[in-house]
Amino acid sequence: MISFNHIPQYLCLTLILILIAFAAKPGGETPSGFAQEGLPFLKKYCFSCHAGDAPAAELALNVFSDDSSLIENRDVWDRVLDMVTTGYMPPAESEHHPTMEASDAFVAHIEAIFEHADRTAEPDPGRITVRRLNKVEYRNTVRDMLGVDFDPTENFPADDVGHGFDNIGDVLTMSPLLMERYLEAAEAIATRVILVDPPPPSKRYQRGSRLNPRHDDVPDQRFRRLDPTATEAWKSGPFTTGATFFKMFPDEEIIYKATLYVEPDSGTPVAETDPYSETAEAETDNETPIAEAESQTPVEVALFIQGAALAEVSPPEELARLVGVDPAADNGIKILKTFEITSRDPKKNQTVEYLVTGIPNIENAGIAMVKPTEGEPSAKLQIRVLWAEGPLDTRPDTQLEILACTPDIPQVEQTREVLTRLLRRGYRRPPTEAEVEQLVQFVGAIQADGAKWEAAIQQAIKVILCSPKFLFRLELDDRPQRPDPYPIDEFQLASRLSYFLWSSMPDDALFELAAQNQLTDNLEAQVKRMLADPKATELARDFGAQWLQIQRIATVTPDPERFPTFGRRLRAAMLKETELFVASILREDQSVLDLLDADYTFLNKELANHYGITDTQGNWMGQKKTVSGGEAIKGRAFQRVALQGASRGGILTHASVLTVTSNPTRTSPVKRGRWVLEQVLGSPPPPPPPDVPELEEDHDAITGTTLRERLEQHREDPACANCHAKMDPIGFALENYNAIGAFRTKEGGLEIDTTAELPDGTAFDGIADLKQILKDRKQQFVRCLTEKMLTYALGRGLEYYDRPTVDRIIAQLESEGYRSSILITAIVKSDPFRLRRGFLD
């Protein structure tokens, strides 16, 4: 062990000073001033264009003189750094162009300034924005809150979009039209989930001639003869029909009935009414009761149910009494009840019935004749109809769940119990006593006017659905001026989590953890659970579609003459492919880099034909199969399909993306290149000058030249050259795909040239090289994806103070294999997601 007693005093003093220096500068030294190192670079290479009264792109760099001016304009300098890093600026053709070393040194200096500012700044979770539920969130919330099975938002106006998403609090305004639609939706929802006057039970009939077993010789008449002396089963019975038709479910009460009579000795009668005519139902209801039937030698019949998984069946000795039933066989029959049939008048049929309830796994319901006692003559039956009345409780399931309460307590207490539960779910937090009592009194006042209890609860539901506390995600706090960050409460965290992953309200598990103040401690486990839930497909559908901008495919209109195969089904299939693909990345916890290039996708027959793929192994139409074992892709259902080669795989090759980045009559390398820069690399180019003309669409102008040649002519304009130098090369690499994403090698009879070169000199050819370039620049892609998802999760645009959070998430992604769950969990556990601060002046 080293003893400090043997170290000279001057050396100890030196060590102490070094330690003090490190303590004063955690994580690295303070960078030298911008005026000394950064400003000379700008003066030499940038001020010629970006200074003065009319700077290029309206960007004046001469206004920045020190570190603080950079930090206060972080968004501007993020763009400047991106331009310099990618070689886009300063322009290669400029008189004074920096060396790569000079550009790298300038970028490193600016990044050091920002890194130091981030490291020394106080954590800032950002501002809290009151967020109205958007259409998707409203629809999902009323579904999960009340069990609504229809879309109440069909007539809602479209939500505004900010920062690329429609859940941004700053743009989700409340218009008079929307308020009117909310009132209409509340009325429709309340009257649908609770029926004040439920309808009578429905009746379902199966005429005798249509009972099983079927046979071609069974006459298509109103009655079916049951002859116990016959040897054929279709004559002797038993006769059955499917229990599902009668709605014989374990949670329903059904009255199972049979209407029939004993065939008189005089022969077979002819019925005068059709049991399926308009009057048949009324006639069946008025059949002669058993007590009023003719008093003759009765014939005994049995009503029974059948099912392979019935928990209780009749013993063999009882089954042996039934005509046509072999007790040695595994019949799975339970005799419900036997009845004596005495009616022998075809105009006075007899109806027998049995209440069926609480029996699961019923497959068939039937009727059989009981064998007569030895020595008695064998009578024949005429089966008019097997039928059922029910379910007897016609209230919808939503009503039973909403109005569930403790029995045998005063109704006002039942009201309080029901409303407390509704308010808790509607407001996404425990309601206050005042909130509950106010609504209880409201319900009581309606009842006092003579309304039924159900009608009063209906009105209470309307009040909740139109309350700002339901329509807005309010995160109220009694410390609005507190400047330092502090955690949001557990119920607010539950809502943030559920609306991020599910676009809906929290479920019971989240509510329970929040009530126990344990959600924060179990965030990681809850994220895992929620991503495994089917509702997590909403993240792929809602976030994925908006990030990739493919929701616009609903409104694109490719020229029907040039693209006759594009129709409603293909449009829907394109969208579904991308949704399923993004969902699989999240569900299977794959690397987010697989979004750029994957060896599989999801196709149905429509889209497979469009791509030219024949089977689930990805073999191509018109070519020899290279991989065996694939199944043909059939029908509208989507199947996971392995892909061969580089022409398909990853979001860039999805027809949805390729279609929304095209024009109605042709592809658009400019739109496609811009889309990659914005949505994949997070470095959007500036908007075009207002006076730049569009490319000609006239056919005569197109003949004899490729689109690439026309774009190169377009780029000869100096006002266009700089921007297009960054966008067009990327778009050229995608030119093998036409305006609806089908693969091609020629345009107008001319070979398509997919070679290109980026402003930094990187040369490439086609989609395979483009994918590799993007994977090589994975840090840009991961940063872009992280910023997009964090924006979506927070419901606000990112600010300069969010940069440290983004950096930490990216670092965690890099260290853990870029798995999608790491990205989502890191966002959920980040300061902006979990914390809040007061409103700073």
Q: Cα separation of 686 and 80, whole Å? A: 12
Would you say residue 613 has pLDDT above 50? yes
Model pLDDT for residues 424-463, shown as the tens digit of each residue: 999 999 999 999 999 999 999 999 999 999 999 999 999 9
Q: Cα separation of 239 and 255, whole Å? A: 18
Model pLDDT for residues 223-244, shown as the tens digit of each residue: 999 999 999 999 999 999 999 9
Confidence at 3, pLDDT banded by 50, 70, 90: very low
Q: Cα separation of 485 and 487, whole Å? A: 7
Helix (H, G, I), strand (E, B) or coil at 595: helix
The reported pLDDT for the residue numbered 29 is 53
Closest to 666 in 3D by CA, of 621, 705, 713: 705
Return the half-sphere exposure (C-beta side, CA atoms, 13 A cut-off) of residue 814. 12
First to last CA, the chain: 56
Confidence at 85, pLDDT banded by 50, 70, 90: confident
Q: Which residue has the higher pLDDT, 715 or 311?
A: 311
Residue in the structure block whose two tokens are 């019971």? 508
Structure tokens belonging to residue 243: 């229990």
Q: Cα separation of 649 and 631, whole Å? A: 19
Would you say residue 97 has pLDDT above 70? yes
Kindly give the residue spans of alpha helices, DSSP state H, lying in 394-448: 397-402, 411-427, 433-448
Q: Cα separation of 495 and 117, whole Å? A: 32
Q: Cα separation of 133 and 166, whole Å? A: 10
The reported pLDDT for the residue numbered 708 is 62
The reported pLDDT for the residue numbered 700 is 46
Least confident range from 171-175, 276-280, 826-830: namely 276-280
Percent of residues, the chain, with pLDDT higher than 70: 87
Confidence at 295, pLDDT banded by 50, 70, 90: very low
Closest to 493 in 3D by CA, of 479, 468, 511: 511
Return the half-sphere exposure (C-beta side, CA atoms, 13 A cut-off) of residue 273. 17
Q: Which residues contact 560 (CB under 8 A, 6 or more apart)?
A: 566
Q: What domains sit in the chain, N to C, each tagged with a CATH number?
A: 9-120 (no CATH), 203-389 (2.60.120), 549-776 (no CATH)
Model pLDDT for residues 749-789, shown as the tens digit of each residue: 889 999 999 888 899 999 999 999 999 999 999 999 999 99
Q: Which residue has the higher pLDDT, 336 or 800?
A: 336
The reported pLDDT for the residue numbered 404 is 96
Would you say residue 384 has pLDDT above 90? yes
Closest to 206 in 3D by CA, of 169, 247, 171, 165: 247
Contact in structure between 90 and 98 (CB atoms under 8 Å):
yes
Q: Cα separation of 56 and 70, whole Å? A: 19
Question: Which long-range contacts link 179-183 to residues 24+ away (Cβ below 8 Å)?
Answer: 181/155, 181/156, 181/157, 182/465, 182/466, 182/471, 183/466
The reported pLDDT for the residue numbered 18 is 33
The reported pLDDT for the residue numbered 689 is 62
Q: SS3 helix, strand, coil % of the chain, rounded to 5?
A: 45, 10, 45
Contact in structure between 754 and 763 (CB atoms under 8 Å):
no
The reported pLDDT for the residue numbered 169 is 94
With a threshold of 0.75, does the pTM exceed it?
A: yes
Q: Which residue has the higher pLDDT, 44 or 580?
A: 580
Q: Give CA torsion, residues 334, 337, 343, 344, to 10 deg.
A: 30
The reported pLDDT for the residue numbered 720 is 58
Structure tokens belonging to residue 289: 């009761």
Closest to 546 in 3D by CA, of 138, 136, 135, 165: 165
Confidence at 211, pLDDT banded by 50, 70, 90: very high
Structure tokens belonging to residue 646: 């580089």
Structure tokens belonging to residue 565: 């195969």
Structure tokens belonging to residue 573: 């299939």
Would you say residue 290 has pLDDT above 60? no
Radius of gyration of the chain measured on its C-alpha atoms: 37
Q: Cα separation of 161 and 344, whole Å? A: 75
Model pLDDT for residues 458-503, shown as the tens digit of each residue: 999 999 999 999 999 999 877 777 778 889 999 999 999 999 999 9
The reported pLDDT for the residue numbered 24 is 38
What mean pLDDT is reported for the chain?
Answer: 87
321 burial level (CB within 10 Å; 0-12, 13-18, 19+): middle
The reported pLDDT for the residue numbered 118 is 78
**Which amino acid, 90?**
P
3-state secondary structure 90-154: CCCCCCCCCCHHHHHHHHHHHHHHHHHHHHHCCCCCCCCCCEECCHHHHHHHHHHHHCCCCCCCC
Contact in structure between 479 and 836 (CB atoms under 8 Å):
no
Kindly state the helix (H) or strand (E) to which residue 464 belongs, with its residue range: helix 453-465
CA distances from 572 to 232, 555, 742 (A): 52, 12, 16
Confidence at 715, pLDDT banded by 50, 70, 90: low
Contact in structure between 407 and 425 (CB atoms under 8 Å):
no
Task: Give me the mean pLDDT over the 648-666 stretch.
Answer: 97
Q: Is the peptide bond before 391 cis (omega within 30 degrees of 0)?
A: yes
Q: Cα separation of 62 and 39, whole Å? A: 9
Least confident range from 62-66, 258-262, 291-295, 305-309: namely 291-295
Task: Give me the mean pLDDT over the 666-671 stretch.
Answer: 94
Helix (H, G, I), strand (E, B) or coil at 303: strand
The reported pLDDT for the residue numbered 303 is 98
Kindly give the residue spans of alpha helices, DSSP state H, lying in 777-802: 778-794
Kindly give the residue spans of alpha helices, DSSP state H, lying in 568-620: 568-587, 605-611
Residue in the structure block whose two tokens are 């500068």? 25
Q: Cα separation of 594 and 546, whole Å? A: 19
Closest to 72 in 3D by CA, of 831, 808, 801, 805: 801
Helix (H, G, I), strand (E, B) or coil at 204: strand
Buried b (16+ CB within 10 A) or exposed e, 771-787: bebbeeebebbbbbbbb
Contact in structure between 767 and 733 (CB atoms under 8 Å):
yes
The reported pLDDT for the residue numbered 487 is 93
Contact in structure between 80 and 46 (CB atoms under 8 Å):
no
Other Cβ atoms within 10 Å of 542 Cβ, number: 22
